[in-house]
Amino acid sequence: MSRLRIGVLALQGDTREHLAALGEAGAEAMPVRRRDELAAVDALVLPGGESTTMSHLLREFELLAPLRERLAEGLPAYGACAGMILLASQILDAGARGREAVPLRGIDMTVRRNAFGRQVDSFEGDIEFAGLDDPVRAVFIRAPWVERASEDVQVLARAAGHIVAVRQGRVLATAFHPEITGDRRIHRLFVDIVRGQR
């Protein structure tokens, strides 16, 4: 079976950790900073980081419109934390005008930024994740949550009563950071989604 080429948006955030996790999950992983690199991948991971900074850099690197276009055409994508925020169709508390987080509209959902609180409120815990036999160790760092998900969106996990993992078609998003735990099941799930096996 041919190896998939999965890009990791490498403007800011946990790029290196996602590249390693994807490699361990059986994909050929490459950083994406330019339009030609975006055009060359079969799927894309949007890492954690700071959603307003990432939005600004998407504009600066002239990637915002091409990325929205590829998502609209069906590009498989996975967003973690800030990546989840960007994949939303609507963002609450999006930030200061002119520097706000910009929705890419990959999943029909409304996401609240920093919903669990500030950096000092970061936490981790084991959560049930639909389709996985054992709980996932979830690390939440200034994490968002999903306030509204359309009926086309599958809810995969909740924490403290809030939606923290979703899937719509071939687009996956988590409010937490699986790339830093050593558990590769969510990255393998994404690779399977890209291959059409899940």
Region of residue 181 (phi > 0: left; psi between -120 and 50: alpha; otherwise: beta): alpha
CA proximity to 35, closest of 56, 9, 1: 9
How many separate domains does the chain show? 1
What tens digit of pLDDT does each residue of 155-196 get? 999 999 999 999 999 999 999 999 999 899 999 999 999 999
Read off the CATH number of the domain in which 95 is found: 3.40.50.880
pTM score of the predicted model: 0.94
Binding residues for L-glutamine: 49-51, 113, 141-142
What tens digit of pLDDT does each residue of 16-72 get? 999 999 999 999 999 999 999 999 999 999 999 999 999 999 999 999 999 999 999
Q: Identify the H or E element spanning 57.
A: helix 51-60
Query: Secondary structure of 127-177 in the HEC alphabet?
Result: ECCCCCCCCEEEEECCCCEEEEECCCCEEEEEECCEEEEEEECCEEEECCC
> What positions carry a catalytic annotation?
81, 177, 179
Binding residues: 49-51, 113, 141-142
CA–CA distance, 9 with 31 (Å, rounded to integer)? 6
Domain extent, residue 95, equals 5-195
